[in-house]
Amino acid sequence: MPRIRRHHLPPAFFRHLLDRIEQRKIPASQLEPLARWLDTEPEVPDGEWFKRFSRMTVCSEGEFVKTFLLPGQRPKGERVG
């Protein structure tokens, strides 16, 4: 199983994540728990997966975080802990 890739992201990819944070008004208070979780270098499935936090859901496929959803938006894939 891959681990989430946090460093050396392609610039356009990183910009996309920043745009989603801004567009969906993800509170900074939600980014701290995300960072702590990422610090654990979690293993994730190769396919689609998601991780719920109190006021957002992180969605991805494989090693890259791909987007952020708000409560009420439905994620696809396998839920990770």
Tens-place pLDDT, residues 12-60: 988 999 999 999 999 999 999 999 999 999 999 999 999 999 999 999 9
The answer to whether residue 4 is domain-embedded is no
Range of 28's domain? 11-79
The answer to whether residue 47 is domain-embedded is yes
The answer to whether residue 6 is domain-embedded is no
The answer to whether residue 63 is domain-embedded is yes
DSSP state of 50: E
pTM of the predicted protein model: 0.87
| Residue (of 78, 23, 26, 18) closest to 53 by Cα position | 26
The answer to whether residue 2 is domain-embedded is no
The answer to whether residue 73 is domain-embedded is yes
Residue 32 phi, psi (nearest 5): -65, -50
Q: What is the pLDDT of residue 29?
A: 92
Per the structure, the count of domains in the chain is 1
Query: What average pLDDT does range 2-8 have in this prediction?
Result: 83
The answer to whether residue 3 is domain-embedded is no
pLDDT-based confidence at 73, cuts 50/70/90?
very high
The answer to whether residue 30 is domain-embedded is yes
